[in-house]
Amino acid sequence: MSLSETIKAKRKEKCLSQTELALRINRSPQLICDIEAGRKNPSLDTLALLVKELAFSLDAIFFK
């Protein structure tokens, strides 16, 4: 599963909308949409916030 797919799946598991997630990590809903669609990659700061808020590990994505 790609990073964008993982973020979207974890967000849905937590029953959060893109807007709710964006508010929780102080980012724009459009950025969340673009990340989930694969149009943009999150910065390291944003990625750290997403990992913390959605409680997932990057191991399965980057260390296959």
Domain of residue 9: give its range.
Answer: 3-59
Question: What pTM did the predictor assign?
Answer: 0.91
Residue 31 lies in a domain: yes
Q: What is the total count of domains within the chain?
A: 1
Structure tokens at 32: 């969340």
CA angle 34, 55, 16 (to 5 degrees): 55
Domain with residue 27: its CATH number is: 1.10.260.40
Is pLDDT above 90 for 61? no
pLDDT tens-digit readout, 14-59 = 999 999 999 999 999 999 999 999 999 999 999 999 999 999 988 8
Report the C-alpha gap between 61 and 17 in whole angstroms. 23
Is pLDDT above 80 for 60? no
Residue 64 lies in a domain: no
Q: What amino acid occupies position 12?
A: K
Angle between helix axes 18-25 and 29-36 (nearest 10 degrees) is 120
Report the C-alpha gap between 60 and 39 in whole angstroms. 21
